Amino acid sequence: MLVIAVLAAPALGLRLGMPGAAHDPPGSPTKIADTLLTEAFGPGANGQLVLVPERPDPAAAEALRKIVATRAGVAPGPVLTVTPRTGPDDPATAELVGWLREVAGPGWHVGGAVAVQADFSAAVTSRLPLFLAAVVAISVLVLALVFRSVLIPLTAAVMNLLTAGATIGVVVAVFGGPIEPYLPVFLFAGLFGLSMDYEVFLISRIQEEWRRTGHTRAAIVEGLVSTGRTITAAALIMALVFAAFAFVDSRVVREAGVGLTVAVMLDAIVIRCLLVPAVMVKLGAANWWPSRRREHPAAPIPAARDKAGWIR
């Protein structure tokens, strides 16, 4: 839990937005062009905004221009072209968009790439809680139907949220901000799909053993021994595939590669093979509620080894 908390801590500083060309790899044409443009015309030249009135009014446009000029560069005319004093992905530029809409009023519309990105980020952010709740609720319902249990699906949901938080934290720590608005959605959905495979594989084996012996702790040991190596090997294969994307020139592809690699390895090794079994041991017979089967306290914990040294 401490490891997960440390990895997830940077997620508190998550800032959604579309990174500009300033975040492209050094030496790339887009990075060079952005640097030259910034040096010649200022950081806001690559993120200009446009104020467009519903009905042209030169007097109103001039009055608004004087107000806007206190916070940004603005060219006169019936349509005002605003040049921010900060870069396109600077939080101050996003704040400027909101301020312009406030001072301009309903008769004016704010356009430009930065405004579009700000609206897109706000739309995704506002619906993200609903998306997360829907995914978690569906997974809990399906697991409850499969295992006829209440605590097992709830535990799986909490574990997945912990992994998601740690994954986002690592991405923020490695790449800084802003992070593409759709990336958390992509990582969360991909993580849930992969982690549920491992969860069903592990819990199915544990439940089979529990039904045979009636002893939860022995069933957990047997289930983990039977599936742990397979889960870890499958996760390692997936992680090697995802790690290859971490070396692509595209920033969003690198973010996805790093995020999925961390998510798969953390989920398989720390969550499924360590934290989930530990929690199940603590819960004991409550794992299988509302099953009416009684716990068998005298069932032995399997510890016999075969000739190859494998625990049987």
- Domains along the chain? 16-116 (3.30.70), 128-288 (1.20.1640.10)
Taken in order 267, 201, 160, 241, the sign of the CA dihedral is positive
Average pLDDT on 159-188 reads 88
Count CB-CB contacts under 10 A for residue 40: 8
Does residue 23 or residue 144 have the better pLDDT?
144
Strand order in the sheet with 73-75: 73-75, 80-83, 49-53, 108-111
Partner residues linked to 276 by β-bridges: none
Instruction: Write down the pLDDT at residue 93.
Output: 87
pTM listed for this prediction:
0.79
Q: Give the residue ranges of DSSP H helices in the chain.
A: 2-8, 29-41, 58-68, 91-104, 113-147, 151-175, 182-213, 216-244, 251-265, 276-283
> What are the φ/ψ torsions at residue 52 (nearest 5 degrees)?
-120, 125
Nearest 5°: CA angle at 184, between 250 and 153?
Answer: 140
User: How do beta strands 80-83 and 49-53 pair?
Assistant: antiparallel
For the segment 97-141, what is each residue's pLDDT rounded down to a tens digit? 999 999 888 889 998 888 888 888 888 888 888 988 998 898 899
Q: Are 110 and 119 in contact (CB under 8 A)?
A: no
CA distance 24 to 274: 38
DSSP letter at 269 equals I
Partner residues linked to 109 by β-bridges: 52
Q: Please report, rounded to a whole number, the percentage of residues in the chain having pLDDT higher than 70.
A: 93
- First-residue to last-residue Cα distance in the chain: 30
CA distance 55 to 105: 13
Q: Are 239 and 251 in contact (CB under 8 A)?
A: no
CA distance 8 to 212: 39
* pLDDT over 60 at 286, yes or no: yes
For the segment 21-30, what is each residue's pLDDT rounded down to a tens digit? 777 778 888 8
Instruction: Write down the pLDDT at residue 310.
Output: 52
Instruction: Write down the pLDDT at residue 296.
Output: 63
